Structure 1
Amino acid sequence: MIRNKLRRIVEYTPLYGRILLKTEYPITEYRLQQLSTDELLSILKHECHRIEKSIYNEIKEEKSEYYAEKKKRSEKVLELLESREHNQKEVISWATEILKKYDNLDEEFIKKKRREPDQLDWGAAEDTLQLVKSRRSVRVWADDQPSKEALESMANKMVEAATWAPNSGNRQAWRFKIITDDETKQLLRPIKEEHTIKAPLLVFIGMDSRVYGALGRNERSLYIDAGAAIMQMVLVGHSTGLGICWNHFADDLINSRDANKEAYDEFAQAMSIADYIAPIAIVAVGKAEYIPPIPSRPDTEAFKM
């Protein structure tokens, strides 16, 4: 009885604030109906991912009631999404297939869709390592820049790379804004340095905080997921020869001064960034005037514990 009362409390608590039970997501249809389309899609991705993962960990039968509840919740979400507008038909198709083949998921889904692993290529690691080691944070931009269209095209490729990053629970909570106009860049002046304002193109990275919180208010996955995505963006941009600079833009910086808070509020309003989007970073992109000197790094052994 006490647990049922607690469950009801959890049902009416925002996802980000849930700390009492490991229900992870609301189960009642009424509570699900109150969620945004983005939240419903994130729940669907997360729950179906967990169902699939149960096969790899060989625990689906052992925890049959637990995964049956996830299936039930996912089916309710799919039903609700039928009347919602969105552009994620591929996600719906993937989730529908998992739920339809739930009873025999290993044979009918995983074994039919899996592929053989690539041949081991030890030399490929050295090529990738050289790309990683050649990356520098560029803060001085050349006068002769690629066209706006070329930079925007590359920014879209960088965003695409980010969306293939590993992320906790398959939440896919990344959100991006590509910025090229000087007027918007100037809004950042009270917070960011000159090299950011002068960059030919900026990509704002934020995270939808509504889909986190299953582990309580101190859940850190949001920042981990963002970092993994940003690093993939940086490496794809760097691989073309463009200069890239990853700039800190999280709430600790924004909340450190009243002037920063005011500047971010103005920027967020101008860019239609919702309050539930947690700001994380701004990646600057453009042709470099030069590549800065190599910063010293100790031998790898110095970092081992």
Structure 2
Amino acid sequence: MAQDAVTPPSLVADCGSCFGLCCVALRLDESADFPVDKPAGEPCHNLQEDFGCAIHARLRPTGWKGCTVFDCFGAGQQVSQVTFAGVSWRDAPEIEHSMYAALPVMRQLHEMLFYLHDARRVSPDGALAAAYDETVAHTADPPERLLALDVTALRARVSPLLRSASAAYRRTVRRRLSNVVPRKVHPGADLMAADLRGMDLRAADLRNAYLIGADLRRSDLRHVDLLGADLRDADLRGSDLRGAIFLTQPQLNAAAGDASTEISPALVRPSHWIERGEFAPGSAEI
């Protein structure tokens, strides 16, 4: 039986259960996404004693756009509460480097779990279930085993399973929707700033496509494979993304949408997306 579309809570970031790891462990480079340089391992100056962010409600207008795009897929709370059993880097400075190193490893595992969960939603393949269980087991590893894990090898085993599930799912969709017109798009396509307004892209394979700044207003993106697609500043106002597979919260956070953008119940409408009524999709204001 296909899995529930709702993302498991363990794969949703819970900042209240994390020790502000993304605000400490990750390096920041001064750019359009961040107003300062910050070395990896140095706490952000906005990080408070309770591990909250002092400017959380004002991140985008104060130049911290990158923080609103980032999502750890729940890796932060897993490292904080499971890998290191609720002991913070502030309370035990001797574990800080291991804790910081564990975050990107755990994030990769949780991202794979998100994709595997989505693949199982559309395919009952036993191999997907086995890969999911194996990856879950790794997330419970102690620090030394987690840091020694060959994530690249694990990803190499998972990737073909995801491709196969995607292809089978999209074939089924195309058979059911006989009026789907094949489009000349392909994995890794360079569609930067492309005018794709109103296009019927149902069941297309857009994994790893470059859609930076693409105009996708009112496009039909149902059942599209978007694994790894770059949606930075893509205009999704009025588009329909229901049933899209491997679409993540960070991808949505990086794009522009509005209240008329249709998304899966497994995802959250980004708070910075403009609401319907400010201007109509396709107006001259863009």
TM-score over 0.5 (shorter chain) = no
Structure whose CA Rg is larger: 1
If the length of structure 2 is used for normalisation, what is the TM-score?
Answer: 0.26
Which has the larger share of helix? 1
State TM-score, norm by structure 1. 0.25
- Bigger strand fraction: 1
Relative contact order higher in (CA < 8 Å, ≥ 6 apart):
1
